[in-house]
Amino acid sequence: MGNAPILAEDEYMHEPTDHPQFNESAYYNFVDGDSGFAVLIRMGNRVNEGHAEVTVLVYLPGGGAAIRFDRAPIDSNDKFEAAGLKFEVVEPLKKMRVTFDGTAYLLKSGRDLEHPKQAFAESPVVPVSLELHYENVIPVYGLGEGSGIQGAEDSIAVGHYQGPCAVRGWVEVDGQRREVDGQGFRDHSWGPRVWQGPQYWRWISCMADERNGFVAWTQKIGDTKSPGHGMVLRDGVMERVTRVEVKSEYGGAPYYATSMQVSMWTEAGERVDATGRVFHLVPLRNRRNGEIARLAEYLVELDFEGMTGYGISEYHDRILEDIPAGISEA
């Protein structure tokens, strides 16, 4: 399946397998670098476990955040709709609509989620609603050949595609509405999702405008580190990336990234470099059977081909004796 072409019907829901951690998920983001306002939205249907993982995260200027996380009950995998969040296909592989109407915890600092129980106890709950329209600016692509994430079929996804988008709409937090008009990314995955399976992954996204940006992805599962995949978009022309190297600088414990250097090699063999600076952070995590997988969700300003771009970088790490598994490698 990892080498299968991406088809219009892949935009819709897939028949679950009997894997106990089967997951079908979709993810959407948007970043306004000028203001520091951003959103990260995800729903992962884990129907064999009877719930959907629902995340609505709004990054607020100045370092605050609004966060809603639910394990909402579901009994089928026939749609993305739970806990007030809904994803709708407008035009397959091209246009999507995302809506949410609910509440969220309003955090003074996104980093407060390092201690989630305390953060939720001390933060007010406020109304949050949004309507966002996503339109892909280039055809969607996988991280490898065709649909999938090469080398990660047993723990991240059998089928997967993603792509940069123009994003339009609005987001309202505690009565304050912001109009949205800019760039973001979306993805869609299906298959096993074992959060504690990979040692680490790095997903670094950047858009300078609708015609220029990149995505870099690398992972390590067991003792096997992938060569990396992604794409480079220059003047509206996409080139696939077949090798990625990430070098990151980290602060002291609990060891969050502060900056990164990204090197990407295109199919033609050209090396493309970018450097990034973290300016906002919200740490998420998944705990299962005593093991923690941390997903540090960074807002990053990046220098790319002489342009300034912005994006969300996701650093997933198994936490081993309080140390992120990938800290010495990526």
What pTM value is reported for the model? 0.95
Write down the pLDDT at residue 2: 42
Write down the pLDDT at residue 295: 96
Kindly state the DSSP code that residue 115 receives in the 8-state scheme.
S
Beta bridge partners of 102: 128
Q: 3-state DSSP call for residue 321?
A: coil
Write down the pLDDT at residue 123: 98
- Distances in Å between the alpha carbon of 216 and those of 11, 142, 158, 283? 23, 12, 19, 20
Per-residue 3-state assignment (H helix, E strand, C coil) for the chain? CCCECCCHHHHCCCCCCCCCCEEEEEEEEEEECCCCEEEEEEEEEEHHHCEEEEEEEEECCCCCEEEEEEEEECCCCCCCEECCEEEEEEECCCEEEEEEEEEEEEECCHHHHHCHHHHHHHCCEEEEEEEEEEEECCCCECECCCECECCCCCCCCCEEEEEEEEEEEEEEECCEEEEEEEEEEEEEEEEECCCCCEEEEEEEEEEEECCEEEEEEEEEECCEECCCEEEEEECCEEEEEEEEEEEEEECCCCCCEEEEEEEEEECCCCEEEEEEEEEEEEEEEEEECCEEEEEEEEEEEEEECCEEEEEEEEEEEEEECCEECCCCCC
Q: For every one of its 330 residues, what pLDDT tens digit does the chain have, with 9 covering 90 and above?
A: 345 689 999 999 999 999 999 999 999 999 999 999 999 999 999 999 999 999 999 999 999 999 999 999 999 999 999 999 999 999 999 999 999 999 999 999 999 999 999 999 999 999 999 999 999 999 999 876 655 566 666 667 778 899 999 999 999 999 999 999 999 999 999 988 888 889 999 999 999 999 999 999 999 998 999 899 999 999 999 999 999 999 999 999 999 999 999 999 999 999 999 999 999 999 999 888 889 999 999 999 999 999 999 999 999 999 999 999 999 999
CB within 8 Å of 82: residues ≥ 6 apart: 43, 45, 52, 54, 70, 72, 73, 74
Write down the pLDDT at residue 290: 87
Q: Give pLDDT tens digits for 3-21.
A: 568 999 999 999 999 999 9
105 Cα distance to chain centroid: 20
